[in-house]
Amino acid sequence: MQCQCQLPTRHSLYGQKVFHQATRTRVRQKAARTQAVAVTQIPTSLSTSRVWEAAYEQLQMEKGVCNLIQKYSPEAVRERALSSPDATFQILVRGLTMTGVLGGFFLGLAWDRISLQADTPGRVQFRAAQLREILTSLGPSFVKAGQVLASRPDIVREDYMNELCTLQDDVPSFPDDQAFGILQEELGRPIAEVFSSISERPIAAASLGQVYKAVLRETGQEVAVKVQRPGVEPIIFRDLFIFRALARLVNSTSKRKLGCNAQLIVDEFGEKLLEELDYLQEARNIQDFYRNFSNDPKVKIPWVRRDLSGPRVLCMEWIDGIRCTDPAAIRASGMDVAEFIRCGVVTGLRQLLEFGLFHGDPHPGNIFAMPDGRIAYVDFGNVAELSQTNKQTLIDAIVHAVNEDYEGMADDFIKLGFLAPGTDVTPIAPALQEIWQDSMGRSLADFNFRTVTSKFNDLVYQYPIRIPERYSLVIRALLTQEGICLTLSPEFHFLEVAYPYVARRLLTAEDPILRERLFQVLFQNGKFQWQRAEKLLGLAKEGSGGLDITSTVRDAVKVVLLDDKLRMQLVNAFTEDNKLHIDEVRSVLNQVQGEINPQQLLRQTLGDLPALSRQFMLSWSDKILSK
């Protein structure tokens, strides 16, 4: 398999922070113009392996990133699952168990259709609950699969999705002596040398591991120690092998009826699941989040002790706050709930649109309200990353939504991987317009993601739409976050917080790409949109803190001086309809009053004069010579 790579660095906003990724197991790269390199060497003697790898290659190309070192590949799963005669026998036994349990469920569905009960509300609810119980009984792979399906409207109908949303990862804990044995083995020394105390019983247990509370002997700091469930990795590889074999059998049907590649879906799921199994990878994720939010006084990311962590053990800072599973306690704490909600929404948007690295499982148990009002995150095993191209396309989609450019939104669906390249978007654009306008209602307060998702569920069955795994995580994260906010404050409205953030980003970011998007918002069909400019400024000022648009004005002056077309558009905006738009100019100036630092603007402009003069002269000479 081949993909295109560049140097392994991850940049934060405007490239101010460069994260050193040399030790990272999963190094994501943007699709670039450099020489393609092989990620895995596939034995040519395995004729079937080429079939197995085909969908996985498609997955890597769609993502616009590649993994220089990765734990998952179809061939690696095959080798691990068939590593010995005993392992092969275990696959047969596991396959028979799955067939028996799931076969009974599908026979029940068939009987419901024969007896004309398939769509009755009571029967649907019964079958959805039955599926949830079956997935829980089949173990961690199926629990994780059910959680993924809960945010995949392109695969599962809405009533089943709603039931799977309640699928819990809580399972009985495994024996403590086994946990302490694994912990000591990973530490390489007696537990008592590292911890002065550790809880006798786990604080929490899940399908992949369980957590203990301990105190570091050398510093006295409280830490959370996560220990992986023994023997879980072979089970995961075995199940992934079976999943992929089944996906290959039903692939033609899934493409025909659902418009999606079943093998590709399994590959996306398998890659994320194996990442969750690697606690060193989770430690690296925590470090990345810690760096991203190191200068944000409203966000708490725990530190991690890499020297006390390993593939099966993770040692990180203990977070002592109120979980969002207890909204009554948060409200009773006396903190500013509205500000806490706003902080949570903005933090989530920063993860998506600034860093491209976001928490894939922000359920209420993983988010804390700190006593000082900060928001804290834990459990960084399920983390997803967006390439720079995908971040830009998401911003494009927001701009197209603001401009009500629904054909542009449909094209964004192709770029993001929701639609296959070459898909005719002509019939899809009106459907997107209907969904967006119905969801927006009469004001921002009428909008919620649950409504949009519900309407989008209908759309995926009408058109060949497939939701890539990373965006199913985005959808799940946004829905979960909105649910937490509504639990804390029933009057919460997502867009009333999100729009001001996006407006501030467009107006204040120094990223040239965002500057271009800003001009796309302010100009439509060659005309300057006065009302849109006022609305954008008004929304941006709704966010907390000052709105310094000095750099934006400086960049605008430079562009206007150098771009004849834009300069003429502004002149036309001032004189449109044979009148001077004095009132509009005054209204915009009133909006920016106090938001520009004149001294800083003058200083920056004077500093830019030499380069600006040179660019202006070059542009002028090019025009003269071209005549």
Q: Which two tokens stand for residue 477?
A: 């994260």
Residue with tokens 């699941």: 273
Say if residues 533 and 586 touch (Cβ distance below 8 Å).
no
1 Cβ contact partners less than 8 Å away, ≥ 6 residues apart: 38, 39, 40, 42, 53, 56, 57, 60
Residue 104's nearest CA partner among 125, 130, 143 is 130
Strand locations in 243-336 (E): 299-300, 313-317, 322-323
Say if residues 456 and 152 touch (Cβ distance below 8 Å).
no
Residue 67 CA to residue 40 CA, distance in Å, equals 10
Rounded to the nearest 5°, which phi and psi values hold at 216? -70, 130
Strands 523-524 and 209-216, bridge-based pairing: unpaired
Write the CA distances from 512 to 38, 64, 615, integer angstroms.
Answer: 33, 21, 17
Residue 453 CA to residue 439 CA, distance in Å, equals 10
Residue 131's nearest CA partner among 152, 96, 156, 113 is 156
Q: With both helix axes pointing from N to C terminus, report the angle between 140-149 and 262-277 in degrees, rounded to the nearest 10.
A: 120
CA angle 548, 493, 434 (to 5 degrees): 105
Q: Is 626 exposed, middle or buried (0-12, 13-18, 19+ CB in 10 A)?
A: exposed
Residue 566 CA to residue 73 CA, distance in Å, equals 50
CA angle 133, 137, 143 (to 5 degrees): 80
* Residues labelled catalytic: 361
Say if residues 532 and 492 touch (Cβ distance below 8 Å).
no
Write the CA distances from 343 to 308, 485, 536, integer angstroms.
Answer: 32, 11, 20
Residue 25's nearest CA partner among 311, 251, 404, 220 is 311
Residue 350's nearest CA partner among 415, 416, 296, 398 is 296
Say if residues 205 and 231 touch (Cβ distance below 8 Å).
no
Residue 222 CA to residue 226 CA, distance in Å, equals 13
Say if residues 398 and 324 touch (Cβ distance below 8 Å).
no
State the SS3 of 123-189.
Answer: HHHHHHHHHHHHHHHCCHHHHHHHHHHCCCCCCCCHHHHHHHCCCCCECCCCCHHHHHHHHHHHHCC
Residue 496 CA to residue 348 CA, distance in Å, equals 15
CA 31, chain centre distance (Å)? 18
Q: How many Cβ atoms from other residues are within 10 Å of residue 198's Cβ?
A: 18
Residue 561 CA to residue 618 CA, distance in Å, equals 13
- Strand order through the sheet with 375-377: 299-300, 375-377, 367-369, 322-323
Residue 615 CA to residue 611 CA, distance in Å, equals 6
Strands 222-228 and 209-216, bridge-based pairing: antiparallel
Residue 416 CA to residue 30 CA, distance in Å, equals 14
